[in-house]
Structure 1
Amino acid sequence: MEASPEELELFRDNVIRFLSDEVEPYYEQWERASIFPKELYLKLGEAGLLCVDQPEEYGGAGAPFAFSMVVVEEVSRMGFLALASNLTVHSDIVAPYILHLGSEEQKKKYLSRMASGECIGAIGMTEPGAGSDLQGIKTSATADGDSYLINGSKTFITNGQHAGVVVLATKTDPKAGGKGTTLFTLDTSLPGFKRGRNLEKIGLHAADTSELFFDNVRVGANEVLGRIGGGFGHLIDELPRERLALAVSAVWHAQGALEKTIEYTTTRKAFGNPIASFQNTRFELAKIKTDIEIHRAYVEKCTQLYADKKMDATTAAIVKLATTEMEGRVTDACLQLFGGYGYMTEYPISRYWADARIQRIYGGTSEIMKEVIARSLVGR
């Protein structure tokens, strides 16, 4: 099922209205608190903005993939990248993992509550000693009768403070390398699970980013997500959507930065004239616009490829690398046009700039993206 442009724009209007009413007035205080209130997820769920392309039988709207990306687009454009990060993990990473890999029992247990905002999703991959090298994780899941005992820790976990379910990467066979990795759905109410501190970051202040600890957490075999030992392959299969969502976010976040910069340079005066009247400013704005539009075109192509189930890992790496590097260039150039005011936190462009920096790191660093692309060209 494909969405008509009219349907998408109507949905976009609803997203913008929600963000203007329920997010914009409170965003600064959430940034200062370094966390979103849980109630926000319930409001998002009630407005139909969570897991929107999930089937109706599991609480979603059954909408085309493009609708989910409209949420990412507008949240990013309006400068709420911390919220875009949290929602991407919840709706575009965790929910699809459970939908694509989960048993009927797992789907019924988690998905409807995720769509309503009652249960917030997180994904537990990164560890203190294993970032991009997922084969190096140490968190273990040891078979014990008809269940598993999970021990270890994770770090840099988005939604960590609020998560009700974690899609958790573990080692069930430490000697088998990537083939010894298994995913679980872990209910955070289980004994032995503990949340660590909410980590302090350069940007994305309102996004709760946490350490998680597992001390003999007992989970049933029915919480295995996908195949025993198939976790690494499952991660590879699901990464294209994650990286595409980050690419969408990058383009629209850059677009929002440009809009703020146009507004500022056309009203701010220097030497008696608007800054936008100077050739340097005009040429910089032209370069920024060109950079954004070229990358938007590629993102739109990739979005269609994903909708048609033709998106591969290499293409996902290309679009993630290109767009997030562009986002960094654009937000930096935009801040420069604000001059000294751009460095002041009272001006939103400073947040655009600081928030953009993480996009070249999470979801696979730019260096890892280059390696993925290179392997598709010349092998290892």
Structure 2
Amino acid sequence: MVFSEEHEAFRASIRGFVDRDINPYVDQWEEAGIFPAHELFKKAGDIGILGIEYDEEYGGMGADHTFAMIAQEEFGRVHAGGIPMALGVQMMMATPALHRFGTHELKEKYLRPAIAGDMVTAIAVTEPDAGSDVAALRTKAVRDGDDWVINGSKMFITNGTQADWMCLLARTSAEGGHRGMSQIIVERDTPGVVIGKKLDKLGCRCSDTALLFFNDVRVPVSNTIGEIGRGFQQQMSQFIVERMSGAYSKLKKIEWALEQTRDYMRDRIVRGEPLISNQYAAFQLAELSGRLDMLRTYCYAMAEKYSRGEDTTREATIAKLMGSRLCRDTAHWVLQFHGGTGYIEESWVPRFVRDIRLAGIGGGADEVMLQVLAKIDGFTPA
């Protein structure tokens, strides 16, 4: 992939945002277990990165997908996984369906302030009994005149305690499975929306993740995104963007971890020699570096294909699967080569290991990616 001067200038602006407005504060945000989403997102909105691919009519940049890829790649340089995840939700998980299928009125009311950073968003799909199996979700929205009346619960909702509105997927008819669902915008301060609790997580600790309850929540039917009953299909297309985003965000994170480990092993003397002189250790790092280069090349090709308007379902599935496995292998060897030093919380390693493990779970577990890929390639019955 050939990057233009405009691409490189944009990359520099994202890098400056990370170095200036995020990394100096991640330690205190991690300790607090939350970051100031409205404050940070407003800064992001001011430099135009929350609506990279969205219409200029609503405050977006109107750029192609390669710019969004660059942003997610540079977010990988953030020294805590929770911030890129929260930004990714705002940019590439909660808003794509609204931009693509929403009415002008909904875009003016909800998309424009999200792009500006004046509103924080969330994606409310996962439930206690319906994680990777979205077709099993139970939250219902029953029509009563011009309103939906929503009852149910949502689990593992990123930005859940700070979001101003969420893109919620609910059943709007009695049809089972993937049929009869709709995407509905729900404002968090609507009566009946209850924050059950902020979840205490293994990693990504500075990102607020919530359990939410919906008790007779009334929302106008006009808050429906796109066509009633087509929510599952719209959500699936939104998942493709999410999975590509997740793969992009791992590139710089893995690169940074390998560089830090290489430098540590150059300085660490074992039996009179730098640890990096151990051929076994050097070969392990070299293989990880080679796999990273393959993933990066694949992601760049995927981004270009998506920018051309082509279907990238298969590519997104593969990138997420292989990226998550590379994340796990990198975490293993980074910790192993740091030894006891890497097991101490004063080191950067424990946070990296905790945060990056989510790659194979969130946004569709590895097993789901294999299921999707096997179906696409005809390895399972139609």
TM-score, length of structure 1 as denominator length: 0.96
- Shift in Å, 1:4: 4.5
CA separation in 2, counterparts of 1:84 and 1:136? 28
The answer to whether the Cα contact below 8 Å between 1:77 and 1:254 also exists between their aligned partners in 2 is no
> Which position in structure 1 is the counterpart of 2:33?
34
CA separation in 2, counterparts of 1:369 and 1:174? 28
> Which position in structure 1 is the counterpart of 2:19?
20
- Shift in Å, 1:177: 2.7
Equivalences, count: 379
> Which position in structure 2 is the counterpart of 1:378?
379
> Which position in structure 1 is the counterpart of 2:148?
148
CA separation in 2, counterparts of 1:63 and 1:259? 31
> Which position in structure 1 is the counterpart of 2:182?
182
> Which position in structure 1 is the counterpart of 2:6?
7
SS in 2 for 1:362: coil
CA separation in 1, counterparts of 2:360 and 2:244? 13
CA deviations over 1:54-96 (Å, ceiling 9, x no partner):
2221112222222222221122134332111111111011121
CA deviations over 1:247-269 (Å, ceiling 9, x no partner):
11223221121121122122232
The letter for the 2-side match of 1:17 is G
Q: Which runs of 5+ in 1 are unaligned?
A: none
CA separation in 2, counterparts of 1:3 and 1:190? 47
Is 1:352 aligned to 2:337, yes or no?
no
- Note the 1:287-306 alignment, pairs <5 A: 287-306=287-306
CA separation in 1, counterparts of 2:204 and 2:176? 37
- Shift in Å, 1:31: 0.6
CA separation in 2, counterparts of 1:197 and 1:310? 40
The answer to whether the Cα contact below 8 Å between 2:22 and 2:78 also exists between their aligned partners in 1 is no
CA separation in 2, counterparts of 1:284 and 1:177? 45
The letter for the 1-side match of 2:116 is S
Q: Report which stretch shifted further, 208-217 or 271-280.
A: 271-280
- Shift in Å, 1:201: 0.8
- Note the 1:74-153 alignment, pairs <5 A: 74-153=74-153
The answer to whether the Cα contact below 8 Å between 1:268 and 1:275 also exists between their aligned partners in 2 is yes
SS in 1 for 2:214: strand
TM-score, length of structure 2 as denominator length: 0.95
Is 1:337 aligned to 2:326, yes or no?
no
The letter for the 1-side match of 2:366 is S
CA separation in 2, counterparts of 1:35 and 1:22? 15
- Shift in Å, 1:23: 1.1
The answer to whether the Cα contact below 8 Å between 1:241 and 1:306 also exists between their aligned partners in 2 is no
Large movers: runs of 4+ above 6 Å = none
CA deviations over 1:257-301 (Å, ceiling 9, x no partner):
112112212223223332222222322221111111111111111
CA separation in 2, counterparts of 1:261 and 1:74? 19
Aligned identity (percent) is 35
> Which position in structure 2 is the counterpart of 1:226?
226
Is 1:204 aligned to 2:197, yes or no?
no
CA deviations over 1:148-197 (Å, ceiling 9, x no partner):
10111101001101111110010111334311111101122211112221
> Which position in structure 2 is the counterpart of 1:57?
57
CA separation in 1, counterparts of 2:48 and 2:323? 28
